[in-house]
Amino acid sequence: MDGDHSSFDLLFNPRLNKGTAFTEAERERLGLVGLLPDNVEDSGTQLERQRLQLAQKPNALEKYIYLSELQDRNERLYYQLLTSAPAEYMPLVYTPTVGEACQKFGHIMRRPKGLYVSYRRKGRIREILRNWPVEDVRFIVVTDGERILGLGDLGVCGMGIPIGKLALYTACAGVPPQHTLPVMLDVGTNNEAFLEDPLYPGLRMKRIEGPAYDEFVDEFVQAVQEVFPRCCIQFEDFTNRTAMPLLTRYRDRVCCFNDDIQGTASVAVAGLFGANRILGKQLRDHTYLFFGAGSAAVGIADLVCQQMVREGLPRAEADRRCWLVNSRGLVTAETTGLSEFQLPFAHPHGATKDLAQIVETVRPSVLVGVSTIPHSFSRAVIEAMSRINERPVVFPYSNPTSKSECTAQEAIEWSRGKAIFASGSPFPPIHYRDRLFVPGQGNNVYIYPAVGLAVFATEASRVTDEMFLRAAESLAAQVTDQDLAVNLIYPPMANIREASVEVAIRVAELIFDRGLARVPRPADVAEFVRARVYDPAYR
Active site residues: 94, 165
| 96 upstream amide cis, omega within 30 of 0 | yes
For residues 514 and 454, give the distance between their C-alpha atoms in angstroms, rounded to a whole number: 13
Distance of CA 310 to the CA centre of its chain: 26
> Are 288 and 301 within 8 A, CB to CB?
yes
Reported for 342-348, long-range contacts at CB under 8 A and 24+ positions apart, including other chains, are 342/293, 342/298, 344/305, 344/319, 345/290, 345/298, 345/301, 345/319, 347/320, 347/323
Do residues 107 and 437 touch, judged by C-beta distance below 8 A? Answer: no
Question: End-to-end alpha-carbon separation of the chain, Å?
Answer: 31
Residues 310/313/314/317 CA torsion (nearest 10 deg): -130
Name residues whose C-beta falls within 8 Å of residue 500's C-beta, 6 or more positions apart in sequence.
172, 173, 174, 446, 449, 450, 453
Q: Hey, is 299 helix, strand or coil?
A: helix
The C-alpha atoms of residue 239 and residue 215 are separated, in whole angstroms, by 17
Give backbone dihedrals phi and psi of 516, rounded to 5 degrees, phi first: -100, -5
The overall longest dimension of the chain from CA atoms, in Å, is 79
Residues 6+ apart with CB under 8 A from 487: 278, 420, 421, 437, 438, 439, 440
Query: HEC states along 339-391?
Result: CHHHHHHCECCCCCCCHHHHHHHHCCCEEEECCCCCCCCCHHHHHHHHHHCCC
Distance of CA 19 to the CA centre of its chain: 31
> Sign of the C-alpha dihedral, residues 20, 25, 26, 31?
positive
**Angle, in degrees to the nearest 10, between helices 43-55 and 75-84:** 70
CB 161 within 8 A of CB 142: no
The residues with which 115 forms a beta bridge, in sequence order, are 183
Cβ–Cβ under 8 Å, residues 74 and 129: no
SS3 189: coil
Does residue 392 contact residue 386 with C-beta atoms inside 8 Å?
yes
> Checking phi first, is residue 381 left (phi over 0); if not, alpha (psi -120 to 50) or beta?
alpha
